Amino acid sequence: MQEHKVLVANRGEIAMRIVQACRKLGLDFVCVYTHEDRHSGHVALARSLGGERAACRVSSYHDANELMAVADHAGATAVHPGYGFFAEDFRFARRATNRDRKLIFIGPSWRVIRELGDKINTKRLARSLGVPTVPGSDKPIYDELEAEDIAASLFAFQAEQGIKRPMVLVKASAGGGGMGIEEVLDPDMFRAVYRRVRNYSRRQFHDEGVLIEQRIEDFNHLEVQVVSDRSGKNPVHFGTRNCTVQSTGRQKRIEVAPGFAPSEIAYTFDAQKVLDDIIGHSLTLARKVGYDSVGTWEWIVTRQGEPYLMEVNTRIQVENGVSAAISRIRGKNGVDIIAEQIRTGLGEPLGYTQEDVTFEGVGIEYRIIAEAPEDRFAPWVGRIDEFRWRDEPWLALHTQIPTDVAYDIPTEYDPNLALAIIWGKDLSEAKARGRGFLDGLTLKGENRQGGMRSNIAFLGDRTERLLVF
């Protein structure tokens, strides 16, 4: 395995974590950066660990041609896409693996990415395996009568369940990224909304197909972390995460592992069963598609304790660390899921089974961000003068902010300032440590409008009710 060289086709925090993982595995690597990113942490890290030639300048992270050229120039044999950019682009994965000078795409094989990248396909696949999905249609509906029929059933279904405000969602089946989605509160309004969405879809996507689903408002967002090797036969899970604390723009702010704490909090449903179920379902689906890398199965759990599979993220994520914090392989901690992804991606077998993976304690990940939660999470840009925290054995903090000099937040960077992962032996200890950490955090800065804004108070406020449904 040591003869491989990995092209890190990403930037910032994830590029740094990939580089560190490569180092740990003894792999050679090469990074890319754009002109704007020339002072970024990942470039400095790449140069310090791999020498001057370990970072190549490109004009854009989005240009596959340039990345391929860099790979050929540097003699790379594999490419790690990180998240964003090409991470879930099956065409990029296919190009890497099918081109004349082949590259290993560190991620699932392109067919898997394509299969799970299509929401309708995923939903149908799930239903074919008896995995629960959001009630509604699992295929594009072209017929108005059929659409009305489904909508009426959905309203009745929600009424039966005792949902106070039944709602139906009408989406353009060819759409994505929130385009062409509308809610219906009143069954009598359905036809008008349906036609509007259908016409929009026809104009925009040249397709009249529409999906009709239940709109679930009151839910918890859970995730199952899955890791598998190239054989695709024996996927292993690394537990669940609860990512319900989000900004108004549905960006995650706090992740907690595991997903519920039935031993400490009382739920109206059998929380342990829900966790076991979603893990079981996720692994069933992973086995079915022959999932051969690291991925996240996203679930929503309703107040009634019904889990529904939302989608599969066929990539590494920001919040892997919090799952790693509570996981032990053969009793050892220090699990690195990115390293596992690289190792198995390059063809090594996993080397352990589900029995070898155990869980201990509770992890909380805070995303410390310069923003104003009270002002619809508006980002704050300015100079950070002081950023200090107390080091603890139970704390891991990843940041690109220097602690010794003042730092200007560059507008083109992610607003993420730091990721703090806190471990406690149970939820109450983790929460207490989390509060303690947030209280002891010093973050000061200013811009022309005034003092620094951050989400620390918001995070502290939410810590109280973590995992409470």
Partner 1 sequence: MDTEKRLNELNERLRYVRDIFGARENENITLLATKLGDFQARERTLSEPERIRALAALEDLFAFLEKKLEAELTPMDKVRIVRHPQRICLKDILENVYDNYTEIGGRDEHSIDPAMLIARAYITRRKGKKVYNQPVMVIGQEKGHGQEFRNGGSVKPWGNAKALHYMKVAEIENIPIHTYVFTPGSYPVEDWPGAAQQIARNLYEMAALKVPVVSVFSEGGSGGAEAIGLADTRLMLSHGYYSVISPEGAAAIESGIRQGQRAPAELIETCARRLCITADDNLKNGYVDRIIQEPALGARVDDYGFFKQLRQEIIRATDEVVLSVKGIKLFRAMALRRRQRRGAPIDAEAIYVRWDLNTAARERLLSRRYAKFMRLSRHAFLDKRPAVKKACSACHDLGWSLYSFFRYDLWRKHHRRIAHAMAEMGAEVDVVKERVSRPWRRIFEKLGGGAAVPEANVERLTQLSAWEADGDAAEGDTAWRYVSPRAAEDRAVTCPNSEESGCLDLWAPDLFGDFAGVCSYCGHHFPMEYQWYLFNVFDERSVFEFNAEVESGNPLDYSGFDAKLEKAKQKLGRKSACMTFEAKVKGVKVVVAMLMAPFRGGSVGAAEGEKFIRAADRARKKHFPFLAYVHGTAGIRIQEGVNGVIQMPRCTMAVRRYIEAGGLYLVVYDTNSYAGPVASFLGCSPYQFAVRSANIGFAGPGVIKETTGLDIPPDYHRAYSALSRGHIQGIWDRRDIRNNLYQSLLTMGGRNLYYR
User: Which sequence positions are flagged as catalytic?
Assistant: 315
Calpha distance 348→332 (Å, rounded): 20
DSSP state of 243: E
Distances from the Cα of 40 to the Cα of 11, 16, 83, 310, angstroms:
8, 10, 17, 35
Helix H or strand E segment including 385 = strand 383-388
Is residue 311 within 8 A of residue 249, CB to CB? The reply is: no
Q: For residues 340-376, b (16+ Cβ closer than 10 Å) or e, as one string?
A: bbbbbbbeeebeeeeeebeeebbbbbbbbbbbebeee
N- to C-terminal Cα separation, the chain: 46
Which positions ≥6 away from 53 have C-beta within 8 Å? 30, 74
Is residue 234 within 8 A of residue 356, CB to CB? The reply is: no
Which positions ≥6 away from 205 have C-beta within 8 Å? 172, 174, 175, 180
Q: Which is nearer to partner 1, 73 or 91 (CB)?
A: 91
Coil, helix or strand for 26?
coil
Q: Which is nearer to partner 1, 123 or 315 (CB)?
A: 123
Q: Which is nearer to partner 1, 285 or 459 (CB)?
A: 285
Q: How far is the CB of 312 from partner 1 (least distance, A)?
A: 17
Is residue 325 within 8 A of residue 246, CB to CB? The reply is: no
Q: Which is nearer to partner 1, 124 or 328 (CB)?
A: 124
Q: Which is nearer to partner 1, 145 or 266 (CB)?
A: 145
**How many other β-carbons are positioned within 10 Å of the β-carbon of residue 428?**
13
Q: Which is nearer to partner 1, 243 or 312 (CB)?
A: 312
Q: How far is the CB of 99 from partner 1 (least distance, A)?
A: 5
Using CB atoms within 10 Å of the CB of residue 161, give its burial: 0 to 12 exposed, 13 to 18 middle, 19+ buried. Answer: middle
Using CB atoms within 10 Å of the CB of residue 157, give its burial: 0 to 12 exposed, 13 to 18 middle, 19+ buried. Answer: middle
**Single-letter code of the amino acid located at 124:** R
Which positions ≥6 away from 303 have C-beta within 8 Å? 218, 219, 268, 469
Q: How far is the CB of 301 from partner 1 (least distance, A)?
A: 16
Binding residues for partner 1, rule: CB under 8 A, are: 60, 62-65, 91, 94-95, 98-100, 124, 127-128, 132-133, 135-139, 150, 152-157, 159-160, 206-207, 214
Q: How far is the CB of 98 from partner 1 (least distance, A)?
A: 7
DSSP 1-19: -TT-EEEE---HHHHHHHH
CA dihedral angle for residue 265, residue 266, residue 269, residue 273, rounded to 10 degrees: 50
Q: How far is the CB of 214 from partner 1 (least distance, A)?
A: 8
Output the six-digit token pair for 412. 């083109």
